């Protein structure tokens, strides 16, 4: 039991905040033990009717009503902490760790936030218009709410700063690319880094000895190739639109589709953005973006849902093949995030028939439901296939604590 759960204030706690444009997810985490003391989600910030759900000590508390902005959301979170009998005391916080989607070419490792850093995060808004302004606002409000508590920004792009030039460079006019910072940045880095580390721990291997493919299949989805703990390829690019099929995002399409639609359908930039980011992917193909709904429809014989499932799995499989070549063969392939952790049918479809490449899934192991890291390949498989739950909040809490304590 930690000091906090006995009611004694602990200064080792990290509040992790993940701001979206109209949402704020948070967790109060003890970074060493990984204990989550409270977690919650505030949604529909700025809309007529907002909602917050707070879980602590096995109990859920809810708020509904207007939530004007991210500052108001923090106030409601503080109220919910107080109602749950465990007020959020700034004196008990080691730091607040913020997930920031885009670090651009500026940020790699986590940084302590000051006015200059905040300005730079805002300047990167052009590269991540939905995400970075929200993160900056969240940081600003958290600085006001918790004066004197260090605020740390942890970037989703950081793990992919090591991509070799051949992997991160787009073959477009080099001057245009340089002028506008156009390159592949990659996202979900916190998850890919955490999961590849957990794989090494679970297998009792040194991470520097492992070539890994990590498949983060959640509402957003991305694949990475990690050689000896260093990221060498990933499927997302300048923005989180490239690569795999996602809930509402198309992933890879021929860029020619955009010019064609602009010409024949008169779509402007916003129309194209909305089409590919919000109306495509599983939603565009099957009419629903939640993978469980796709599977329910598919099981009921719906052809569009079947096609969505097939396109989704085919795309992941294609990336697995590509990354096997990039790495010159892999030791481990790992599934993570909502779909990767919970959909055995996807894992089976993605890796079916790859015995010639040394990849063989064990049907019984694949069917097991568990929150623990586990191997789902056969003993004969030369490539180990695993399911490893991701935990981005814990990874952010640990990175935050490390930065603050070493400073």
Q: Does 343 bind ligand AMP (CB under 6 A)?
A: yes
Residue 104: other Cβ atoms inside 10 A: 18
Give the three-state DSSP class for 311: helix
Instruction: Check: CB of residue 312 under 8 Å from CB of residue 192.
Output: no
Cα–Cα dist 51/29, whole Å = 22
Which lies closer to ligand AMP via its Cβ, residue 108 or residue 197?
A: 197
Which lies closer to ligand AMP via its Cβ, residue 289 or residue 377?
A: 289
Instruction: Check: CB of residue 366 under 8 Å from CB of residue 344.
Output: yes
Tokens 């399409």 sit on residue: 253
- Please choose, from the candidates 13, 114, 110, 24, the residue with its C-alpha nearest in 3D space to the C-alpha of residue 70: 24
Among 218, 243, 251, 281, binds ligand AMP (CB under 6 A): 218
The C-alpha torsion from 139 through 142 and 147 to 151, rounded to 10°, is -40
Closest approach of ligand AMP to the CB of residue 349, in Å = 13
Q: Does 43 bind ligand AMP (CB under 6 A)?
A: no
Q: Does 378 bind ligand AMP (CB under 6 A)?
A: no
Give the three-state DSSP class for 234: strand
Give the three-state DSSP class for 20: coil
Q: Which of 156, 209, 211, 268 is catalytic?
A: 156
- Please choose, from the candidates 108, 106, 161, 155, the residue with its C-alpha nearest in 3D space to the C-alpha of residue 132: 155
Cα–Cα dist 282/249, whole Å = 8
- Asked if 331 is an active-site residue, the reply is no
Which lies closer to ligand AMP via its Cβ, residue 124 or residue 343?
A: 343
First and final C-alpha spacing in the chain? 27
Tell me whether residue 92 is annotated as binding: no
Closest approach of ligand AMP to the CB of residue 213, in Å = 18
Closest approach of ligand AMP to the CB of residue 340, in Å = 8
| Per-residue contact string for residues 132-171; x = within reach of ligand AMP by CB under 6 A | ----------------------------------------
Which lies closer to ligand AMP via its Cβ, residue 274 or residue 342?
A: 342
Residues 287-306 that bind ligand AMP (CB under 6 A): 290-292, 295
Closest approach of ligand AMP to the CB of residue 303, in Å = 20
Tell me whether residue 371 is annotated as binding: no
Q: Does 55 bind ligand AMP (CB under 6 A)?
A: no
Tell me whether residue 342 is annotated as binding: yes
Which lies closer to ligand AMP via its Cβ, residue 312 or residue 319?
A: 312
Among 29, 339, 376, 397, binds ligand AMP (CB under 6 A): 339
Q: Does 284 bind ligand AMP (CB under 6 A)?
A: no
| Per-residue contact string for residues 221-250; x = within reach of ligand AMP by CB under 6 A | --------------------------x---
- Please choose, from the candidates 146, 12, 16, the residue with its C-alpha nearest in 3D space to the C-alpha of residue 75: 146
* Residue 14, φ and ψ in degrees, nearest 5: -120, 130
Which lies closer to ligand AMP via its Cβ, residue 50 or residue 338?
A: 338
Sign of CA dihedral 169, 171, 176, 180: negative
Instruction: Check: CB of residue 43 under 8 Å from CB of residue 25.
Output: no
Cα–Cα dist 241/273, whole Å = 10
Binding residues: 18, 25, 99, 216-220, 290-292, 338-342, 392
The residues assigned a catalytic role are 156
- From the annotation, which residues make up the binding site for substrate? 99
Residues that bind ligand AMP (CB under 6 A): 218-219, 247, 290-292, 295, 337-339, 342-343
């Amino acid at each position: 039991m930690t000091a906090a759960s006995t009611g004694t204030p602990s200064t080792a706690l990290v509040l992790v905040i993940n701001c979206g444009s109209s949402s704020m997810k948070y967790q109060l985490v003890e970074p060493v033990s990984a204990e989550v003391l409270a977690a919650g989600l505030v949604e529909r910030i700025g809309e007529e009717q907002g909602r917050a759900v707070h879980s602590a000590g096995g109990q859920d508390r809810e708020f509904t009503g207007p939530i004007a902005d991210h500052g108001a959301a923090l106030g409601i979170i503080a109220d919910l902490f107080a109602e749950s009998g465990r007020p959020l005391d700034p004196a008990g916080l080691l730091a607040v760790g913020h997930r920031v989607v885009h670090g651009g070419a500026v940020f790699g490792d986590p940084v302590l936030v000051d006015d200059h850093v905040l300005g730079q995060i805002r300047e990167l808004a052009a590269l991540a218009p939905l995400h970075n302004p929200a993160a900056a606002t969240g940081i600003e409000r958290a600085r006001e709410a918790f004066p004197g508590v260090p605020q740390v920004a942890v970037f989703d792009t950081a793990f992919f700063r090591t991509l070799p030039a051949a992997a991160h460079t787009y073959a477009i006019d080099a001057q245009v690319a340089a002028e506008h910072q156009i390159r592949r940045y990659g996202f979900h880095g916190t998850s890919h880094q955490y999961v590849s580390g957990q794989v090494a721990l679970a297998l009792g291997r040194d991470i520097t000895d492992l070539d890994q493919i990590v498949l983060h299949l959640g509402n957003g989805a991305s694949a990475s190739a990690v050689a000896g703990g260093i990221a060498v390829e990933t499927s997302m690019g300048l923005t989180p639109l490239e690569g795999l099929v996602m809930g509402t995002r198309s992933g890879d399409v021929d860029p020619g589709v955009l010019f064609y639609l602009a010409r024949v359908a008169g779509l402007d930039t916003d129309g194209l953005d909305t089409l590919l980011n919000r109306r495509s992917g599983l939603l565009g193909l099957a009419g629903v973006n939640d993978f469980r709904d796709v599977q329910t429809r598919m099981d009921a014989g719906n052809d569009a849902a079947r096609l969505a499932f097939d396109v989704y799995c085919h795309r992941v499989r294609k990336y697995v093949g590509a990354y096997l070549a990039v790495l010159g063969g892999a030791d481990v392939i790992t599934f993570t995030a909502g779909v990767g952790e919970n959909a055995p049918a996807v894992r089976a479809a993605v890796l079916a028939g790859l015995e010639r490449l040394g990849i063989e899934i064990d049907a019984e192991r694949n069917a097991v439901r568990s929150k623990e890291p586990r191997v789902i390949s056969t003993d004969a498989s030369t490539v180990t296939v695993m399911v490893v739950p991701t935990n981005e909040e814990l990874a952010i809490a640990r990175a935050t604590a490390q930065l603050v304590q070493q400073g």
